[in-house]
Amino acid sequence: MATVLIVDDAEDISFSLGNLVKKEGFTPVIAATGNEALAILKTNIIDLIFLDIGLPDINGIKLIPAIREIAADSDIVMLTGRNEAKSAVDSLKAGAVDYIVKPFELIEFTTSLNRLMQSRLASKMAAIQSQKDDDSTMIGESQAMQPVKEALATAAEVKSPVLITGETGTGKELAAKAVHQQQTNKGVFVKVDCGTLSANLIESELFGYEKGAFTDAQASKKGLVEIADGGTLFLDEIGNLPISLQPKLLRLIADSTFRRVGGTRDIKVSVRIIAATNNNIEQQVANGHFRQDLFYRLNVIPIHLPPLRQRQDDIVLLAEYYLHYFNRELKKNIKGFTDIARANLLSHDWPGNIRELRNLVEREVIFCKSEWLQFQGDSPLTGKGEDNVQMASLAELERKHIANVLKACNNNKSKAAEILGITRTTLRTKTETG
Ligand SMILES: Nc1ncnc2c1ncn2[C@@H]1O[C@H](COP(=O)(O)OP(=O)(O)OP(=O)(O)O)[C@@H](O)[C@H]1O
Ligand SMILES: [Mg+2]
């Protein structure tokens, strides 16, 4: 939750402002002196600071540079006296975003508070959720998806770490977003790809750095962990997290604290951790490539997404869903799949899982010229693609193909025989003899 620091030595003022902050739904923290304020800023993430000018130990304006040094991202609002017009200007020059002249009406305070909080939230959202969530519906009615649905619902009720496993394209990221979305007080969703950056880059990306931590560090910078405070941190490809960084993540999960690179102070955050991997992470633990203690910490709520080939009942459902989706996106009006197209969908193995299905439907919708979608001649589904050699016997393929065509035709044998180009009698013989 967003936190507001009130720095004022007049106890009655800070007490009533603290109450207002609470009433508006934020967390108040109070300091009576400049030094107290700096100490608080060192160990807490503060969004907004209301800063009195006449503090017992230092002039409020003089404190601004020191605050900027520690908490570069906090917004400062100055509380100035009636005859301090010059101070107001000076404080804005020093880096405050606004000022309120004392004595002020409480409404002035709450207006300033809410306005700044809203603009902070808006820019945070814009930075993080730049990807559109327009097709984030999770489709799946098959038997294999039932335990997944249950685990997702459980995960949404608590804040414990979640570990999502599954082959590429099975929907791990979508599942992570679903858990996040279903939460009350969800905050922001921040994704970190642990697979693409070097150990050093991931460390500063994740945990931020202090000024002077390395040659280029001219100013301190918040990491994604801090940005995710109050929300969800999605650690994608966790299996690729360098072993040197694993203790730091372990500590973050175990006691919600971490240090920026080059930092000496512990920073406390409240983040919900969801990790995902398509590696066999237990194997990695056995090989010594992934810490066992971290694995246990992450694997509190395990969610395994089954491959699409084990979700036969969902294939057509998903294909129809994406057909409608791309009809809308591409302003097409395709009515559905031909029976042959359905049979093709069902007999394919889907090594790329749902992503492969989605991409294929998109491509076919683009090129489809008729009312009903039939896969193009060079589609991997029509079996003419060169890299689609299935290592199975002819008899096996025939059996599978017949079963799929029958299923696609709702077991209408005449229709299936027609599609297969054989008589009903031949079809009967083939299905009876296996
Ligand atoms: N149950 C589902 N219903 C509808 N669409 C889905 C479903 N699961 C996944 N998708 C879609 O499939 C695509 C791949 O999903 P996602 O990126 O979540 O997979 P992933 O498991 O993270 O893959 P990778 O391991 O390659 O990163 C996305 O476009 C996603 O929207
Ligand atoms: Mg992914």
Give the residue, out of 134, 136, 170, 318, with the most ligand 1 atoms within 8 A of its beta carbon, to mutate for a pocket test: 170
Please check whether residue 329 lies inside any domain of the structure: yes
Nearest CA to ligand 1 atom 15: 171
DSSP E strands, 153-201: 162-165, 189-193
Q: Note the pLDDT tens digit of each residue in 183-237.
A: 888 889 999 989 877 888 899 999 999 988 888 778 888 899 999 999 999 999 9
User: Same structural domain for residues 110 and 174?
Assistant: no
**Distance from C-alpha of 95 to C-alpha of 70, rounded to nearest angstrom:** 14
User: Same structural domain for residues 338 and 319?
Assistant: yes
Which residue among 83, 100, 128 closes a domain? 128
**pLDDT over threshold 60, residue 383:** no
Give 304's pLDDT tier (boundaries 50, 70, 90).
Answer: very high
Alpha-carbon separation of residue 113 from 110, 175, 228, 418 (angstroms)? 5, 35, 21, 72
Alpha-carbon separation of residue 205 from 47, 194, 198, 200 (angstroms)? 20, 10, 10, 8
As for how many domains the chain has, the answer is 3
Describe the crossing of helices 394-408 and 339-347 by its angle, rounded to 10 degrees. 130
Give the residue, out of 136, 173, 353, with the most ligand 1 atoms within 8 A of its beta carbon, to mutate for a pocket test: 173
Please check whether residue 135 lies inside any domain of the structure: no
Whether 168 lines ligand 1, by a CB cut-off of 6 Å, is yes
Please check whether residue 223 lies inside any domain of the structure: yes
Whether 171 lines ligand 1, by a CB cut-off of 6 Å, is yes
Instruction: Give the number of the ligand closest to the Cα of residue 173.
Output: 1
Ligand 1 centre distance from Cα of residue 140 (Å): 12
**pLDDT over threshold 50, residue 434:** no
Ligand 1 centre distance from Cα of residue 228 (Å): 22
The CATH number linked to 180 is 3.40.50.300
User: Same structural domain for residues 195 and 330?
Assistant: no
User: Same structural domain for residues 166 and 86?
Assistant: no
Ligand 1 centre distance from Cα of residue 169 (Å): 5
Ligand 2 centre distance from Cα of residue 168 (Å): 7
Please check whether residue 134 lies inside any domain of the structure: no
Whether 139 lines ligand 1, by a CB cut-off of 6 Å, is yes
Pick the range with the lowest mean pLDDT from 62-66, 285-289, 416-420: 416-420
Which residue among 245, 272, 304 closes a domain? 304
59, burial (CB in 10 Å: exposed 0-12, middle 13-18, buried 19+): middle
Mean pLDDT (whole number) for 143-153: 94
pLDDT for 206: 93
**pLDDT over threshold 70, residue 389:** no
Going by C-alpha positions, the residue among 104, 44, 43, 57 that lies closest to residue 78 is 104
Counting Cα atoms < 13 Å in the Cβ hemisphere of 43 gives 7
User: Same structural domain for residues 315 and 279?
Assistant: no
**pLDDT over threshold 50, residue 133:** no
Ligand 1 centre distance from Cα of residue 178 (Å): 11
- Return the residue matching tokens 């042959």: 340
**pLDDT over threshold 80, residue 76:** yes
User: Same structural domain for residues 106 and 11?
Assistant: yes
User: Same structural domain for residues 248 and 198?
Assistant: yes
- Whether this prediction's pTM lies above 0.75 is answered by no
**Distance from C-alpha of 82 to C-alpha of 104, rounded to nearest angstrom:** 10
**pLDDT over threshold 50, residue 385:** no
Whether 297 lines ligand 1, by a CB cut-off of 6 Å, is no
User: Same structural domain for residues 320 and 399?
Assistant: yes
**Distance from C-alpha of 173 to C-alpha of 236, rounded to nearest angstrom:** 8
Ligand 1 centre distance from Cα of residue 357 (Å): 10
Give the residue, out of 354, 360, 362, with the most ligand 1 atoms within 8 A of its beta carbon, to mutate for a pocket test: 354
User: Same structural domain for residues 259 and 324?
Assistant: no
Tell me whether strands 189-193 and 301-304 are parallel, antiparallel or unpaired. Answer: unpaired
What lies within 8 Å, CB to CB, of 325 at 6+ separation is 135
Whether 14 lines ligand 1, by a CB cut-off of 6 Å, is no
- Kindly list the protein residues that place their beta carbon closer than 5 angstroms to ligand 2, a single-atom ion: 173
User: Same structural domain for residues 33 and 20?
Assistant: yes
pLDDT for 46: 92
Nearest CA to ligand 1 atom 8: 171
Q: Note the pLDDT tens digit of each residue in 328-373.
A: 999 999 999 998 898 889 989 999 999 999 999 999 998 898 999 9
Q: Note the pLDDT tens digit of each residue in 261-287.
A: 999 999 999 999 999 999 999 999 999
pLDDT for 332: 92
**pLDDT over threshold 90, residue 39:** yes
Is the separation of the CB atoms in 208 and 184 below 8 Å?
no
Across the chain, mean pLDDT equals: 88
Ligand 2 centre distance from Cα of residue 234 (Å): 10
Is the separation of the CB atoms in 425 and 433 below 8 Å?
no
Which has the higher per-residue pLDDT, 163 or 68?
A: 163
Please check whether residue 361 lies inside any domain of the structure: yes
**Distance from C-alpha of 270 to C-alpha of 410, rounded to nearest angstrom:** 52
Instruction: Give the number of the ligand closest to the Cα of residue 318.
Output: 1
Tell me whether strands 267-268 and 257-258 are parallel, antiparallel or unpaired. Answer: antiparallel
Tell me the range of 59-68, 117-126, 136-145 where mean pLDDT is highest: 59-68
Ligand 1 centre distance from Cα of residue 356 (Å): 9
Please check whether residue 138 lies inside any domain of the structure: no
Nearest-atom index, ligand 1, CA of 167:
25
pLDDT for 433: 60
pLDDT for 131: 43
Whether 170 lines ligand 1, by a CB cut-off of 6 Å, is yes
Whether 135 lines ligand 1, by a CB cut-off of 6 Å, is yes
User: Same structural domain for residues 47 and 195?
Assistant: no
Which residue among 128, 153, 179 closes a domain? 128
Mean pLDDT (whole number) for 86-93: 87
Give 403's pLDDT tier (boundaries 50, 70, 90).
Answer: confident
Range of 387's domain? 309-433
Please check whether residue 206 lies inside any domain of the structure: yes
316, burial (CB in 10 Å: exposed 0-12, middle 13-18, buried 19+): middle
Ligand 1 centre distance from Cα of residue 300 (Å): 22
Distance from the first to the final alpha carbon of the chain: 63
User: Same structural domain for residues 324 and 298?
Assistant: no
Give the residue, out of 142, 355, 362, with the most ligand 1 atoms within 8 A of its beta carbon, to mutate for a pocket test: 355
Tokens of 109: 């305070």
pLDDT for 60: 93
The CATH number linked to 80 is 3.40.50.2300
Whether 358 lines ligand 1, by a CB cut-off of 6 Å, is yes
Is the separation of the CB atoms in 233 and 224 below 8 Å?
yes
**Distance from C-alpha of 96 to C-alpha of 76, rounded to nearest angstrom:** 5
Ligand 1 centre distance from Cα of residue 354 (Å): 6
pLDDT for 124: 65
**pLDDT over threshold 90, residue 394:** no
Ligand 2 centre distance from Cα of residue 169 (Å): 7
Please check whether residue 133 lies inside any domain of the structure: no
